[in-house]
Amino acid sequence: MILWYNKKLRRLNAVLLCGQKEEIMNTEKQRSSFSGKIGFVLSAAGSAVGLGNIWRFPYLAAKYGGGIFLLVYLILVLTFGYAMIIAETALGRMTRKSPVGAYAKFGRGWQFSGGGWINAVIPILICPYYSVIGGWVCKYLAGYLSGGVQELAQDGYFTDFITNGADVEFWFILFSLASLVIIYMGVQNGIERVSRFMMPVLVLLAVIIAVYSVTRPGALEGVKYFLIPNMANFSWMTVVSAMGQMFYSLSIAMGILVTFGSYMKKDVSIEQATAHVEIFDTGIAVLAGLMIIPAVFAFSGGDPTMLKAGPSLMFITMPKIFASMGVGTPVGIIFFVLVLFAALTSALSLLESGVSTFEDELHWSRKKATLFMGFLMFGLGTLSALGYGPLSAVTVIGMQFLDFFDFLTNSVMMPIAAMATCLLIVRVIGIDRIAEEVRENGAPFKRKPVFDFMIKYLCPFFVAIILFSSVGSVFGLISM
């Protein structure tokens, strides 16, 4: 009797195993994928290389020590950033799902659905207001193409523009439609094809602008300040700020890397792909610093306080610098084409993460998921587009809509999502299972000791610091 039962049990296990394999094979066949490593790397790098690299990184580097900030940033990218990219990419590839489905593979409790959905909702909330800023970039590029280099540099031009609701809405819709069309074309024909073209061009344009910037009279002091570490400029805020910049710059905790990981083929090395993303992101960040910091030093006579964060750097300071040049128009065109490519590749990644979630969880076609994502973009994005104009009297906890969505996603939701991923990897999936996925088909995992230590101990600690420092800064509890 026992022998008969054991025989039946073995047959049942065999049937279940075959069913699981068949399900995985069917998922592999149905799910879109990148053509290979280069497709993943360029798409993931395109996601990482966004407006944050160009308007936030140079400002933070100038404010928190120049070369010492850059050194701390590089160390964090190679440790903290490396561990989180590996974790999210491996999670996506092993499950072949976007964040919600990836978390649900390991449990049905509220903590699993909550962790998956917070990763999925973040890009859905970021994409609309990010596209508004993409529209600003389009407006300025059109201005330089029409020869308005002096007009764009006038005091009050940027303020007049963003308070004109109809003008902002037009450029926001234009940028959004371009992004939606590319997403509708699919993973290989849309995202990958655009990234293969835009990323090399972006790097080339960044090199051209950087070379021009560092050769301006008086720019050498800015180059030294940015590249040469000086321990006298080091402070605890150097670490905290570099940590926050690295966190946002690498597209960690946005659901993007999980989604892109689900498109990665099994014969692609996760660790090697991660290394290439690190190189791309860090290279563009350094080039952004060389584009902007020396130019501002030359323009201001060596005053680093001229470097302001965010839109004022991109849309006020840089146009004034271009207007002071004899060749301001062509330099302005090259600069804003570069910025447009950076904005577009990041917007595509945010959009794709949302579309993938709707496809996986609601079983919608790509067309329906893209149209619904477009509906959300236009609805939420319009609030941000009109927030400095017709809706300026409407605020959320004292913030305009664009600033509120940025605070909610970047300062609150993303650190929580990253913490959820760390706990899922360490407490539920297990580090060894992640290692198996990384080593699939004999692929290397040379930095596994770094990954193990970071994901167990330092990543959760760093994420907690980012959460408390970001929220504390907004409410005036911490000065950053």
Domain boundaries, the chain: 45-474
| Closest among 253, 250, 239, 255 to 275, alpha carbons compared | 250
Q: What is 45-474's CATH topology?
A: Hydantoin permease (1.10.4160)
Kindly state the average pLDDT of the residues 274-298: 89
Give residue-wise pLDDT tens across range 217-252: 888 989 999 999 999 889 888 898 888 888 778 889
* Model pLDDT, residue 94: 95
Interval 359-380: pLDDT, tens: 999 999 999 999 999 999 999 9
Q: Return the sign of the alpha-carbon dihedral for residues 458, 463, 465, 466.
A: positive
b/e map 424-451, b = 16+ CB within 10 Å: bbbeebeeeebeebbebeebebebbebb
Contact 42, 195 (CB under 8 A): yes
- Dihedral of the CA atoms 337, 342, 345, 347 (nearest 10)? -110
Q: In angstroms, rounded to a whole number, what is the distance separating the alpha carbons of residues 142 and 121?
A: 32
Q: Is the pLDDT confidence value at 161 over 70?
A: yes
Average per-residue pLDDT for the chain: 87
In 120-242, DSSP assigns E strands to none
- Cα–Cα distance list, 24 to 27, 41, 360, 363 (Å): 5, 24, 14, 17
Residue range 303-333, pLDDT digits in tens: 666 666 567 888 988 899 899 888 889 999 9
Report the alpha-carbon distance of residue 195 to residue 34 in Å, rounded: 11
Distance CA 7, CA 350 (A): 50
Distances (CA, A) of 74 to 7, 279, 291, 452, 478: 57, 10, 18, 19, 25
pTM for the complete prediction? 0.88
Summarize pLDDT for 24-67 with one digit per residue, the tens: 444 444 667 777 778 788 887 787 778 878 888 888 888 888 89
